[in-house]
A and B are shown apart, each in its own frame.
Chain A
Amino acid sequence: MSVSTPVRPAPVTSEAREPRPPRAAVATWLIPLGYVAVALFGTWWIAIDLAALRDGASDISRLLARMVPVTFGLVPALLGLVLETLWIALAGTGIAALVSLPLAAAASRDFTGPKPVQWLARGLIVVTRAVPSLVFAIVFVRIFGLGPFAGALAIAFHSVGMIAKMMTDVFEELTPAPRESIDAVGSSRLQSFVATTLSRAMPSVSSLVLYRLDINIRASAVLGLVGAGGIGVALQTAIGSLNYHLAAGIIVVIAVLLLALELISFLSQRAVAEHAHDGTVAELYRRTPDPTRPGWNRGRALRTGSAVVFAGALLFALTQVRFDPGRLSRSWQSTLDLLAGFVPPVIDPAVVTGIFESLVMALTATTVGVVAGLVIAVLSSPHLIRFAPLSALLRILVVLIRSVPDVIYALVFVAALGLGPFAGFLALSISCTALAAKFFTDSLENVDPAPLRALEATGASRLQVFVSGVWPRFVPSLIGNSLFTSDLALRESAVLGIVGAGGVGFVLQESVATLDYGTTAGVLICLVVVVVALEAVARWARKKVI
């Protein structure tokens, strides 16, 4: 560094980002403290008793024993379901990713267009995230009929909320300098966005879209509601009829599918790695005698190849989910009737208690998940421990944990602990751990290595580099991702209904099953409120920390 202490270039956009008072640290401890406080309350509320878990160990092993030997039923039929699931999830995720791009760009705080557009984009993101795919499925099946198209669309709508939200975060984390310089050449907003924001966000964006694809494959159970079949329904049927051999077989198939996806994701991330890791080719194109003509080398082939493969897979998936426009006119009236059922929304004490319970459980489970996920993430990132087999092992472990559906965890804990919130809470904690581990691993990997190398060059130990180089830059995403995990856990809390922990999941499912859509609407409104509140805390925290 030179002797001068350069002033950060003044922001181009407005006074909004004038130097802030140095209160940055507040959010970094206030939010964790809040989590701990809620977790303490939750511990009491849930009546956590780890000794009971030990006492139930034999019941767990008896249940697991009933899953072996694993069977696969009719293998061609199962493979057919896997493919069907894959196409629906691909089409849904692809549509969602395309819709999310402009939404996230408009919702980002760097958006310089009209304010109402920004509010609208933010509102759409929050609402689509808060509405469970179950509800989208009910509506779309009325509009588009039974079949994969309604399923893909339900998945797409729900995914928009999460993908766009994470994209917004990615966009906002980018330094403003390149965008300002391209704005300064007189480019249009769109040109500048594509050239400086999208291009830099590409690695993170593609990894989060792949991650959502992973979630959507597992979430395909909801497709049963729209008669699209898929592997999720087969799994639900197997569990519902206590055919655990087949259930275990299906889980193995899902795990293989997710591991394959993880491998693809890992390889493609390496191909487009954001930072020049050792071994990354520095030359993006091969030089040819004509200086203006970019030639082909391995890196370019990989980049172009993966883009073509993904685009091709998406297009193919879209042809697999057939859309029948003629049906729209026929279903108009019944759709209106259905939507009319949502009015007036009913918010009764059962809904409010349900939301409260779910929120307490989600926050408590997040606290557990964040701590466990942090340990996994730190161990599997190269900052402290550089032992590739361990990191690979942990990555695989996280995928395996994720491929087992919540209902199986719930069953295992119910066998050990009986019905009630404790079993549901443990199941939820496991899914939170997997979520948090995934988020944290990714953001630890995305920490810019240049300053770390500088620190290492001063002779600092790995621990010192981690504490003073990595950690401060990781804290914003730690806090942001923790809040986001709670947000997702709130909706995953349907698992609590499976085991008798009440919560909003049970209320929602029951209201849908009994066609009590007024209550469904009440639940949705409460969910939107909670998600908006969490989002507001997250935004406040990001503002303070970043």
Chain B
Amino acid sequence: MRLALSLTVSLAAVALVASGCAESPNARGGSSGSDDPSELVFAVVPTEDGEDLAKSFEPVVAAIEKKTGLDVSMETVSSNAGVIEAQVAERVDVAVYGAFSYYLAQDVADISPVAIDQLTPDPGSGTVNSYGVVKAGSDISSIEDLKGADVCFTDPASTTGYLAASAGLIEAGLDPEKDINPVFAGGHDTAVTQMLAGDCDAAFAASTFIDDILPAKGVIKEGDVTKIWTSDGLPGSPMVVGNWLPEDVRKDVTAAMTDYDAVSAAEDGLCEGAEREAPAPWGEEYAGKKACEWGGTGAFAFEPATDAVFDPIRKICDVTDADVCREE
């Protein structure tokens, strides 16, 4: 009893002292939106394949801090709407999120895309695809065969898990709401596993899940699924900067992203102690070299991006006229 009492009292004392004297780990510079920021707020929304999101962006943050000379505070956020609203209120200066989130955000927030991820040294390698897959040995061999079938999707607001596929179905002459029976599985992995379990005849999911993540986790094995459809390339994850920032800051942020790549960042010591070996797809030139984790998708670099990069999303929205695409 005495122990509990003294513990409580000392905890209270510590709390009082701490709140009086020390800076909270969450204390804010609080100058966002002003002309002369002392700190940048950088928000990241997980894309499907993030490993350790906060850690993989640390070198990127270091690069931005180095180029701009400003402190950067990073927030990992699970809701795209949260980041977009913070951008509307000019309280998030730099953000990385999915291409569809950008498509939604550009309508309401004063922002510009400055860079987009590039998975290998080849420009444009950051594009992602949506796959349509069926169980090996299925009668269905093309998207046209899906008429009347049960089809698993991710969720209605997912580009690679629904919207792209929906546009593909329309182009193939099928109404994605009437000619097939859509089942929303909630996740890319569930869409595929439930298709394999027989809950639906076909599934649509992001290419990374079918090519990398599910095989790596042992959820699907070589030859389990047959690809029946591949979408056009869709933009990957852009980095978006608020137009309210002074021009020089915006330039410096852009430069931090486009001047470095994962390997030169490692050479510059932006991720000391956390280097990894350059992966095979980066080619001979980089074989055996040290590289940084460079963003949530494990990119090689970020390449300059303009609004035009997002035209494939606009096209999908034009074709499908989906509810989620509608502007306010």
Could you tell me which A residues sit within 8 Å of B by CB distance? 23, 26, 30, 33-34, 36-38, 40-41, 43-47, 49, 52, 56, 59, 62-63, 66, 73, 138, 141-142, 145-147, 224-227, 229, 233, 236-237, 239-246, 327, 330-331, 334, 337, 341, 350, 407, 410-411, 414-422, 497-500, 502, 505-506, 509-510, 513-515
Residues in B whose Cβ lies below 8 Å from that of A241: 104, 157, 323-326
| Chain A minimum-CB-distance residue to B325 | A241
A496 to B12, CA, bound (A): 25
A343 to B188, CA, bound (A): 22
Residues in B whose Cβ lies below 8 Å from that of A411: 79, 81-82, 85
Q: Is the CB of A337 within 8 A of B184?
A: no
The smallest C-beta distance from B84 to any residue of chain A, in angstroms, reads 6
Residues in B whose Cβ lies below 8 Å from that of A244: 328
Residues in A whose Cβ lies below 8 Å from that of B82: 407, 410-411, 414, 419, 498-500
Q: Is the CB of B28 within 8 A of A418?
A: yes
A531 to B300, CA, bound (A): 43
Which listed residue, B51, B85, B198, touches A414 by the CB 8 Å rule?
A: B85
A474 to B91, CA, bound (A): 44
Q: A56-B89, A224-B184, A499-B77 are in contact. Are A33 and B326 (CB under 8 A)?
A: no
Q: Is the CB of B46 within 8 A of A510?
A: yes
Q: A37-B12, A243-B324 are in contact. Are A142 and B197 (CB under 8 A)?
A: yes
- Asked if B172 is an interface residue, CB under 8 A from chain A, the answer is no
Given contacts A41-B14, A41-B18, A237-B157, 8 further A-B contacts (CB under 8 A): A33-B12, A41-B11, A44-B24, A59-B88, A243-B326, A327-B197, A411-B82, A500-B76
Which listed residue, A44, A233, A331, touches B22 by the CB 8 Å rule?
A: A44
A499 to B75, CA, bound (A): 8
| Chain B minimum-CB-distance residue to A137 | B186
Q: Is the CB of B53 within 8 A of A510?
A: yes
Q: Could you list 8 A-B pairs, sorted by A, with CB under 8 Å? A: A62-B89, A242-B81, A243-B326, A407-B81, A415-B85, A418-B91, A419-B92, A498-B78
Q: Is the CB of B26 within 8 A of A45?
A: yes
Q: Is the CB of B88 within 8 A of A415?
A: yes
A497 to B84, CA, bound (A): 15
Residues in A whose Cβ lies below 8 Å from that of B83: 419
Could you tell me which B residues sit within 8 Å of A by CB distance? 1, 4-5, 8-9, 11-12, 14-16, 18-19, 22, 24-28, 30, 32, 41, 43, 46, 48-54, 75-86, 88-89, 91-92, 104-105, 107-108, 152, 155-157, 183-187, 189-190, 193-194, 196-200, 213-214, 217-219, 323-326, 328
Q: A227-B184, A498-B78 are in contact. Are A419 and B199 (CB under 8 A)?
A: no
How many residue pairs at the A-B interface have CB separations less than 8 Å?
220
Nearest 3 CB-CB pairings of A with B: A500-B75, A418-B91, A44-B19
A36 to B219, CA, bound (A): 48
| Chain A minimum-CB-distance residue to B7 | A34
Q: Is the CB of A498 within 8 A of B328?
A: no
| Chain A minimum-CB-distance residue to B328 | A66
Residues in A whose Cβ lies below 8 Å from that of B108: 66, 242
The smallest C-beta distance from B256 to any residue of chain A, in angstroms, reads 21
Q: Is the CB of A145 within 8 A of B50?
A: no
Q: Is the CB of B26 within 8 A of A421?
A: yes
A265 to B159, CA, bound (A): 42
Which listed residue, B5, B183, B326, touches A30 by the CB 8 Å rule?
A: B5
| Chain A minimum-CB-distance residue to B195 | A146
A497 to B22, CA, bound (A): 25
Q: Is the CB of A497 within 8 A of B26?
A: no
Q: Is the CB of A240 within 8 A of B194?
A: no
Residues in B whose Cβ lies below 8 Å from that of A497: 77-79
